[in-house]
Amino acid sequence: MKSIKYTLKYLFYFILLINISACKTYTLFPEKEDTPQHDFDINLSGNSPNYSEIKYWVEHPEKEMNYTSLPKNYTDTSFKSNPEIDVFFVHPTLYLKGTSWNADINDKKLNKEIGNTAIQNQASVFLGIANIYAPHYRQMHIQSYYDLKNGLQAFEVAYSDVKNAFIFYWRNYNKGNKFIIAGHSQGTNHAERLLKEIILENDSMRNLLLLSYLPGMPIKQFHKDLPTCSTPNQLDCFLSWRTLAEGYFPKDWEVSDSISCVNPISWETDSLVSENENHLGILFQNHKIHYPKSIAAYNHNGVVWIKPIKIPFARFYHMKNYHIADYNLYWINIRNNLRYRLKENGHN
């Protein structure tokens, strides 16, 4: 419970839809009519999703329509139609307006938005490398981060769905495959807890776990069997980073050497600045990769600081907190590094 309160306290200040856009901005302090005005009531959270029904998976190998696709201007000659590994992906918070503490699992508009943003721009990094399993879940309202009395209860509902989805995946779809756990923001919180309470406490699960991606939150090592990844070719570890503009650090964020942070260009945990030449491009809202060699980054006090991005009209894309772009900024770097890790460890 203490770790959850810590996470909720040190969240980001602004959240935008998961794409690189200068105009779609959502404050973390929505209008009163867009937030719950009642105390949490489990009876108002709706029914638990039945994960035997494909409709409760936003992305799944058996769905007729998939949200994941490769960037329009990106070619992958190593793409696999039937990968030998899986990824279980937990999407971030997109429930920003509503009067319930947890999202309606049957909200078609919200579910489509999740697919067109988080799945298309984040989970897509694994496409053709791993089979993607991403559940819908009753995510907690963004306001939960500021009202801990009600928010912690909403968090429990959301996590219970994620846990049930993973257990269903494990019993019905895994079939002995090695797998990856990945998330972002709220999804990272649920993934961390899933690893700590379920996967790393089960020998069969732990032995098949290859890697964990936990960006967007201040993550400390939380289990003796899952260290921070410290080299670019390491497996059996976790990766975490939070992206801020150079020189910016939110005053309420903790400064601690124990917060895990990797540079998602060099894949090192040192404080050396990665070269622009090693940055492979940014995934933009039009689902195209643009501007390779535009970012130099380095680790500082448990976050990734990026120098001013070298792109035309950069001032329109400048942010202090690049939380929304933790995957987009490094999309090809993440993908290429995963392939490298797998190859170096005999997973071709």
The model's pLDDT over 57-103, given as tens digits with 9 standing for 90+, comes to 999 999 999 999 999 999 999 999 999 999 999 999 999 999 999 99
DSSP state for residue 38 in the 8-state scheme: S
Residues near 226 by beta carbon (within 8 Å), at least 6 away in sequence: 195, 200, 212, 236, 237, 238
Residue ranges of the alpha helices (H) in 21-115? 108-114
Number of CB atoms found within 10 A of residue 12's CB:
19
More confident residue, 327 or 285: 327
Residue 127: which of 339, 292, 344 has the closest Cα?
A: 339
Tell me if 318 sits within 8 A of 308, measured CB to CB: yes
Say whether pLDDT at 163 is over 70: yes
Confidence of residue 23 (pLDDT cuts 50, 70, 90): very low
Degrees (nearest 5) of the Cα angle 230, 232, 238?
50
Question: Rounded to an integer, what distance in angstroms lies between the CA atom of residue 331 and that of residue 325?
Answer: 9
CA separation for the pair 301, 293 (Å, rounded): 24
The pLDDT value recorded for residue 9 is 36
- Which of 43-47, 70-74, 191-195 is least confident? 43-47
The pair of three-digit structure tokens given for residue 264, joined into one six-digit string: 């998602």
Mapped onto helix, strand or coil, the DSSP state of residue 138 is coil
**CA proximity to 265, closest of 273, 257, 256, 274:** 274
Check pLDDT > 70 for residue 1: no
Q: Which of 265, 277, 284 is nearest to 325 (CA)?
A: 284
Q: pTM of this prediction?
A: 0.91
